[in-house]
């Protein structure tokens, strides 16, 4: 019983103590900061991959215009993607697939699929992973106008 009055006097002093306040604030804000940083990294890398796949599809469609037949257009589109995929830093050329065909009335469509599940961004913690399959298409009409 003699200790309780001394503890009662320490409680107000403890409430006024601010020496550990910054450590508590840091511990509370660190998870939010990590989510923000990892989110920027993950979704920035994901958008870079999406942009690269879209650019490959668009340029493959443009290069396929030089073909005189459907087979030659498909070959030109596939060759473009194969030779230029290495110039995009986050894309692994072995994970790309290309499909190309004439669609509807004289429109040639090139579709590029990329399986991104092996990318390092899918192993980072704290944020939900974006879709691991990226599919982008580009269509180009036949003719000059």
What mean pLDDT comes out for the span 106-128? 90
Helix, strand, coil shares of the chain, percent, nearest 5, are: 55, 20, 25
Checking if the pLDDT of 1 tops 80, the result is: no
pLDDT of residue 103: 85
Cβ 103 vs Cβ 139: under 8 Å: yes
What mean pLDDT comes out for the span 123-132? 87
pLDDT of residue 33: 92
Tokens of 91: 């894309």
Cβ 59 vs Cβ 77: under 8 Å: no
Checking if the pLDDT of 5 tops 80, the result is: no
Q: What's the pLDDT tens digit per position in 26-48?
A: 889 999 999 899 899 999 999 99
Percent of the chain with pLDDT over 90: 59
How far from the centroid of its chain's Cα atoms is residue 58's Cα? 19
pLDDT of residue 23: 82
pLDDT of residue 87: 94
What mean pLDDT comes out for the span 103-108? 83
């Amino acid at each position: 019983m003699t200790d309780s009055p001394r503890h009662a006097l320490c409680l107000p002093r403890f409430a006024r103590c601010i020496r550990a306040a910054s450590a508590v604030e840091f511990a509370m804000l660190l998870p939010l900061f990590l989510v923000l940083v990892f989110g920027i990294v993950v979704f920035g890398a994901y958008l870079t991959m999406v942009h690269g796949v879209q650019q490959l599809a668009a340029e493959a469609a443009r290069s396929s215009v030089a073909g005189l037949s459907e087979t030659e257009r498909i070959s030109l589109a596939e060759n473009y993607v194969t030779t230029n995929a290495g110039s995009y830093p986050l894309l692994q050329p072995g994970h790309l697939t290309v499909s190309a065909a004439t669609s509807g009335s004289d429109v040639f469509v090139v579709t590029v699929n990329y399986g991104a599940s092996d990318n390092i961004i899918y192993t980072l913690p704290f944020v939900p992973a974006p879709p691991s399959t990226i599919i982008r298409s580009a269509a180009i009409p036949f003719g000059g106008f």
